[in-house]
Amino acid sequence: MTLIIAVDGPAASGKGTIAARLAQTYGLPHLDTGLLYRAVGMKVLEAGGSLDDEASATQAARGLDPADLSDDARLTTGEAGEAASRVAGFVGVRAALLELQQAFAAQAGGAVLDGRDIGTVIAPEAQAKLFVTAAPEVRATRRWKQLTARGIEISFADMLADIQRRDDRDAGRGSAPMVQAEDAVLLDTTDMGIEAAFDAARRIVEAARAKHDL
């Protein structure tokens, strides 16, 4: 039995937490593909490059090592998120990371991947597809609480502006823009806590399993 679960959606929608819980529930490996782009963006910055330089970003993507994903503290910063959104629009970067992501999805037994284009580009054959979203103000509040809890100072107004800027960039990029796959189920977590959101996600996956006789 192969079960691929694609979880897409904008920043701070809850997709990462939901994807991780689904992976644990179904005993599948999980890949937060956003970490790949965050790692690429941070490699560019650490090398003194510009996030507007596609050649530098593509080179960083081609040289990406799994060890680059191990520094969670560095990759979960607002700076890393902004860097990821900037470099993710480059065709060369997406091409360099495509094979890695598709190989992960093609593992025996399946996998859970979350990101912006899993159900449309990386794993269009996924048996279960979710598009997780929430109102921008709610997503900004979630991310603001996460960052301030870690001692990172940022105003809510700046956090909301950052969320909206990243949404516009992700949806408007020419290469693999963030869109809901036609066969993905929309899960709006605006008025949900994590337990309710996960339960809704699990029911979506169970319906997909029944449909595909898995």
For residue 169, what pLDDT is reported? Answer: 87
Nearest to 19 by CA among 177, 205, 207: 205
Q: What is the pLDDT of residues 157-184, one digit of tens each?
A: 999 999 999 899 888 887 788 999 999 9
H or E element in which residue 112 lies: strand 110-115
Q: What is the pLDDT of residues 184-197, one digit of tens each?
A: 999 999 999 999 99
Whether residue 203 is predicted with pLDDT greater than 90 in this model: the reply is yes
Q: What is the pLDDT of residues 82-101, one digit of tens each?
A: 899 899 889 999 999 998 99
For residue 72, what pLDDT is reported? Answer: 67
Whether residue 56 is predicted with pLDDT greater than 80 in this model: the reply is yes
Strands 110-115 and 30-32: parallel
The CATH code for residues 3-211 is 3.40.50.300
Name the residue with tokens 């996998």.
111
Tell me the whole-structure pTM to 2 decimals: 0.90
**Rounded average pLDDT over 12-25:** 96
Is residue 86 within 8 Å of residue 166, measured between CB atoms?
A: no
Interatomic CA distance for residues 39 and 71, integer angstroms: 9
Interatomic CA distance for residues 205 and 100, integer angstroms: 24
For residue 27, what pLDDT is reported? Answer: 97
Phi, psi of 161 (to 5 degrees): -60, -40
CA angle at 188 for the pair 105 and 21, rounded to the nearest 5°: 45
**Rounded average pLDDT over 21-34:** 96
CA angle at 203 for the pair 202 and 207, rounded to the nearest 5°: 120
